């Protein structure tokens, strides 16, 4: 029996066993929990990235979304640190994980990005809902 396909953003389907390494966006940006949120947003804007992986104690523990960060800063949080905006404890994927695993994790966590890490929990890249949809479009 064939595995069901994953519906992409443009209506094209991606095989659920597509490796996440084919879906990762680069360059992946990493920030620390104690960095000033306003400086991180500026760096994200300069690099043109929507997401940054958050490093805590040498491990990736969260993903920071520039839109969420901007909303918090606009609400008067000029003195915020990254730790004030994110919730640590993000589940990560290993490079051998599949598109299906990424889609399920995004659905479960409500996050639009999932970190891919090596055996030492160091960032390799991010899989985003957009990268999943774009890969779907590219296969059609």
pLDDT category at 1 given cuts 50, 70, 90 is very low
pLDDT category at 111 given cuts 50, 70, 90 is confident
Residue spans per domain, the chain: 6-138
Residues 6-138: name the CATH superfamily.
CBS-domain (3.10.580.10)
Q: What is the pLDDT of residues 24-48, one digit of tens each?
A: 876 678 999 999 999 999 999 999 9
Can you tell me which residue has the tokens 């949080």? Answer: 77
**Weakest mean pLDDT among 38-42, 110-114, 129-133:** 129-133
CB atoms within 10 A of CB 93: 21
pTM for this entry: 0.78
Q: Return d(Cα 20, Cα 67) in angstroms, integer.
A: 24
**Helix or strand run (H / E) with residue 135:** helix 129-138
């Amino acid at each position: 029996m064939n595995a069901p396909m994953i519906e992409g953003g443009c209506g094209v389907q991606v095989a659920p066993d597509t490796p996440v390494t084919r879906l990762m966006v680069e360059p992946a940006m990493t920030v620390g929990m104690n960095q000033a949120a306003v400086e991180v947003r500026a760096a994200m804007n300069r690099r043109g990235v929507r997401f940054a992986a958050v490093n805590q104690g040498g491990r990736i523990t969260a993903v920071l979304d520039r839109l969420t960060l901007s909303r918090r800063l606009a609400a008067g949080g000029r003195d915020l640190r990254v730790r004030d905006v994110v919730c640590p404890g993000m589940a990560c994927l290993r490079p051998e994980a599949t598109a299906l695993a990424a889609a399920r994790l995004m659905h479960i966590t409500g996050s639009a990005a999932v970190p891919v890490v090596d055996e030492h929990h160091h960032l390799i890249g991010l899989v985003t809902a957009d990268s999943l949809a774009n890969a779907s479009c590219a296969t059609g």
